[in-house]
């Protein structure tokens, strides 16, 4: 299969009970559109590419989307996919569509906020763009899609070149064989319909923005090219100043014969080394660097890293740091840290819709800055890569999560396989980002043996794939109605850091009930209170116990912080949530109007009283024991 080296990214060791062939067969059904074996080029945002952002023609297909799926749910290659430009005045009327005169939609973007008639639309939208391509002898061209929600199918000049499942991770489709010199019709069908066995499943508390929501580009590379790399600080048994000088990792050259040479240069750190690939196209290295300044929130130093092999060259800006746990402490470069932050959804402040621009990212981070955060939980799915880049540059530590939210089909092996692919896609894209310190495998899942086995395996897979970061999950329960709360979820055994969600004062009891709670955990590990909070509509005022007021939201947080300060292993807090965000399930008129109102800021970035409480706690360190 072109595009993958078995040892590089084979799923063989990962698939439980399903062979790769079976998964491939499943890809042909709408129930699963994941291509298990394929290319994913790392660092595309730092490569020289031909951007395909901008206007694409689009056609909306009302369910049941017969242009995309046949009666059995198999994907069709006829119809819109062929972009036949029918002669609508005199030709036979067997295909009644025309992309060339269809309206246009911005990529990246979501169709929901583009056109009010599509605001609640969940289904198939077909995108088309005429793309000039000049194939160069010996070169290969890939279409890179930063993310499209949820299933995507891509045709070039009527030939289906790839499909992908998952709304929040990138994919690359090779167009070399399907493209010709001149104008090429690129058609992408995006289906945002929810299914029980999807990840996330059918219900979740955010907005199902459909469309090609992240950057799209053409990446042209030589026949053998660098598709993956990992450059990090040596992660030994204990952190020492010696580790702080040693960089290690690998560079992978796709389709390279054994012995292909690769150069690694980090000029500012005095690193220049020639490496050679093994039979799998992988060149591993360990090098000493001089005078390395480690990345930290106080000093988010990034180094220009240059990788080259033959005619291919990639540059990236990478920070080097060490993160680990020691008992209940979280250590960054050997020093205990307290993570003070907030949960962040990938919704654009003020204008609404998915985060797609540098401006959106800057706005979100400006609110984090206002509360004096050093950390953010990017919930509940991998965010636009711009977020991690921004955090890398500004020194914000991050939690990154795959969308295993509450109830998913834990009993199905193909759902597990899908989760593994999403996990790998997330880690592969972001493993060179110093800001990301935690990989989260799930949020608020039901505590039962089937789920625990699924998530334990997934946590172990995350650790195997990236042993340099900490693995976490946000747990929910036990019931907090008693004053003694004992958390003994077996999933904690598989985690490095425990995430705990609870809503005392909102979904359960009164704000001051928190004062009487005494929490114990059956593991001695660092703990992050990963969600807590209450809803308030900005500008709505009243007493400390009046629901939906800014005063009550602030009151809940004050009591929460007091409770958390008494729990010895608390090493982080992220109130739910930085900013009000759209959710299809929040339908109380005048108060919610389609928004989850637990934001510290409104969706227009207006500061609520809760933000002031959080800023005070983070500035005065009234919450926050690092040791």
Q: Which residues bind ligand GCB (CB under 6 A)?
A: 205, 380, 443-444, 501, 531, 576, 596, 598
Q: Do the beta carbons of residue 15 and residue 23 sit within 8 Å?
A: yes
Q: Do the beta carbons of residue 266 and residue 303 sit within 8 Å?
A: yes
Nearer to ligand GCB, 83 or 549 (CB): 549
Nearer to ligand GCB, 151 or 380 (CB): 380
Nearer to ligand GCB, 5 or 537 (CB): 537
Structure tokens at 366: 């400006």
Strand order in the sheet with 225-233: 225-233, 246-254, 282-288
Q: How far is the CB of 54 from ligand GCB (least distance, A)?
A: 33
Q: How far is the CB of 119 from ligand GCB (least distance, A)?
A: 20
Q: How far is the CB of 479 from ligand GCB (least distance, A)?
A: 14
Nearer to ligand GCB, 190 or 491 (CB): 491
Q: Do the beta carbons of residue 354 and residue 348 sit within 8 Å?
A: yes
Nearer to ligand GCB, 380 or 428 (CB): 380
Q: How far is the CB of 446 from ligand GCB (least distance, A)?
A: 13
Nearer to ligand GCB, 156 or 492 (CB): 492
Q: How far is the CB of 521 from ligand GCB (least distance, A)?
A: 19
Q: How does DSSP classify residue 257?
A: P
Q: How far is the CB of 505 from ligand GCB (least distance, A)?
A: 13
The residue with its CB nearest to ligand GCB is 205
Q: Do the beta carbons of residue 293 and residue 434 sit within 8 Å?
A: no
Q: How far is the CB of 111 from ligand GCB (least distance, A)?
A: 23
**20-27 helix and 413-430 helix, angle to the nearest 10 degrees:** 90
> What ranges in 473-576 are assigned the alpha helix state H?
513-516, 550-565
Q: How does DSSP classify residue 58?
A: E
Maximal CA-CA distance, the chain: 79
Nearer to ligand GCB, 110 or 502 (CB): 502
**Bridge partners for 277 per DSSP:** none
| Torsions phi, psi for 553 (to 5 deg) | -60, -45
Q: Do the beta carbons of residue 398 and residue 440 sit within 8 Å?
A: no
Q: How far is the CB of 345 from ligand GCB (least distance, A)?
A: 8
Q: How far is the CB of 347 from ligand GCB (least distance, A)?
A: 12
Q: How far is the CB of 197 from ligand GCB (least distance, A)?
A: 20
DSSP E strands in 354-446: the ranges are 375-378, 397-401, 436-443
Strands 570-573 and 339-344: what pairing?
parallel
Nearer to ligand GCB, 399 or 576 (CB): 576
Residue whose C-alpha is closest to residue 206's, from 63, 340, 412, 355:
355
Q: How far apart are CA 524 and CA 504, in angstroms?
A: 23
Which DSSP string do the residues of 81-150 spell out, in sequence order? Answer: GG-----TTTS-TT----GGGS-EEEESS-HHHH-GGGTT--SEEEEEEEEEE---TTEEEEEEES-EES
Nearer to ligand GCB, 440 or 596 (CB): 596
Nearer to ligand GCB, 172 or 444 (CB): 444
């Amino acid at each position: 299969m072109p595009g993958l080296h078995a040892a590089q990214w084979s799923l063989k060791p990962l698939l439980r009970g399903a062979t790769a062939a079976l998964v491939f067969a499943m890809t042909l059904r709408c129930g699963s559109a994941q291509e298990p074996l394929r290319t994913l080029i790392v660092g595309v945002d730092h490569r020289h590419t031909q951007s395909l952002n901008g206007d694409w023609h689009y056609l909306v297909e009302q369910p049941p989307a017969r242009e995309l799926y046949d009666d059995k749910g198999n994907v069709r290659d006829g119809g819109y996919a062929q972009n036949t430009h029918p002669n609508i005045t005199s030709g036979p009327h067997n295909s009644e569509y025309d992309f060339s005169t269809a309206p246009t939609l911005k990529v990246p973007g979501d169709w929901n906020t583009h056109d009010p008639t599509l605001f609640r639309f969940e289904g198939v939208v077909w995108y088309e763009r005429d793309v000039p391509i000049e194939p160069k002898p010996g070169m290969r061209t890939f279409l890179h899609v930063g993310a499209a929600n949820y299933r995507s199918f891509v045709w070039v000049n009527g030939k289906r070149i790839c499909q992908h499942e998952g709304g929040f991770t990138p994919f690359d489709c090779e167009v070399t064989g399907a493209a010709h010199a001149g104008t090429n019709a690129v058609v992408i069908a995006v289906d945002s319909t929810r299914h029980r066995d999807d990840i996330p499943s059918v219900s979740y508390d955010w907005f199902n923005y459909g469309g090609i929501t992240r950057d799209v580009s053409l990446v042209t590379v030589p026949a053998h090219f660098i598709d993956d790399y990992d450059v990090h600080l040596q992660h030994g048994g204990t952190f020492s100043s010696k580790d702080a000088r040693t960089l290690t990792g690998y560079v992978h050259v796709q389709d390279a014969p054994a012995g292909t040479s690769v150069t690694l240069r980090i000029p500012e750190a005095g690193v220049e080394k020639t490496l050679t690939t093994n039979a799998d196209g992988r060149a591993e290295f360990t090098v000493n660097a001089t005078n390395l300044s480690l990345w930290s929130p106080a000093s988010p130093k990034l180094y220009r890293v240059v990788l080259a092999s033959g005619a291919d060259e990639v540059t990236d800006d990478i920070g080097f740091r060490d993160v680990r746990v020691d008992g209940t402490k979280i250590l960054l470069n050997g020093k205990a840290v307290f993570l003070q932050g907030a949960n962040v959804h990938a919704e654009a402040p003020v204008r609404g819709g998915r985060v797609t621009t540098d401006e959106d990212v800057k706005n979100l981070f400006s609110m984090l800055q206002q509360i004096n955060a050093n950390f953010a939980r990017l919930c509940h799915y991998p965010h636009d890569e711009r977020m991690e880049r921004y955090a890398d540059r500004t020194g914000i530590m991050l939690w990154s999560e795959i969308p295993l939210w509450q109830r998913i089909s834990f009993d199905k092996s193909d759902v597990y396989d899908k989760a593994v692919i999403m996990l790998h896609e997330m880690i592969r894209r972001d493993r060179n980002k110093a800001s990301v310190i935690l990989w989260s495998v799930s949020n608020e899942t039901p505590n039962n043996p089937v789920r625990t086995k699924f998530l334990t395996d997934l946590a172990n897979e995350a650790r195997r794939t990236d042993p340099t970061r900490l693995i976490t999950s946000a747990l929910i329960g036990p019931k907090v109605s008693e004053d003694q709360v004992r958390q003994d979820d077996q999933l904690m055994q598989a985690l490095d850091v425990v995430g705990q969600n609870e809503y005392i004062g909102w979904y359960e009891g009164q704000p001051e009930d928190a004062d009487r709670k005494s929490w114990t955990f059956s593991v001695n590990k660092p703990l992050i209170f990963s969600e807590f909070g209450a809803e308030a509509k900005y500008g709505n005022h009243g007493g400390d116990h009046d629901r939906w007021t800014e005063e009550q939201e602030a009151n809940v947080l004050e009591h929460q912080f007091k409770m958390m300060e008494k729990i010895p292993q608390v090493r982080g807090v992220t109130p739910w949530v930085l900013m009000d965000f759209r959710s299809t399930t929040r339908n109380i008129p005048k108060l919610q109007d389609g928004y989850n109102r637990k934001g510290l800021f409104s969706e227009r970035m207006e500061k609520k009283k809760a933000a002031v409480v959080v800023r005070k706690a983070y500035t005065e360190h009234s919450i926050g024991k690092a040791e």
